[in-house]
Amino acid sequence: MDSDIIVAIVAAMLNIVLSLILPSLMKQSNIPFAEQVEKNYDCNRDVIMVSSVLTIIFVYVSLKITPWVSTNVLQKLARLSK
């Protein structure tokens, strides 16, 4: 499997974890942490999934175009500065 897609999937998983845990950690309430995470997931399920899909797409595309940008664009910019 392509390593770029693996990195993109890991980034999406990290996005999901942070989307569930950080809001729960920042809330000051008497509800147990696990219930806060579950409640956060129930309320924001669609947003978290869309955000994760967009994360996969953007990370994958950025990893794919990085070699092209570093060879073509940066070389053209270097020639302009001469």
DSSP 30: S
* Domain residue ranges in the chain: 3-80
With 0.85 as the threshold, say if the pTM is over it.
no
CA angle 7, 8, 13 (to 5 degrees): 95
Lowest mean pLDDT among 10-19, 34-43, 68-77: 68-77
Contact call for residues 64 and 4 (beta carbons, < 8 A): yes
> pLDDT by residue (tens digit) across 16-63?
998 888 887 777 777 787 888 888 888 888 999 999 999 999 999 999
Enter the tokens of residue 48. Answer: 């978290």
One-letter amino acid for residue 3 of the chain: S
DSSP 71: I
Enter the tokens of residue 80. Answer: 């302009």
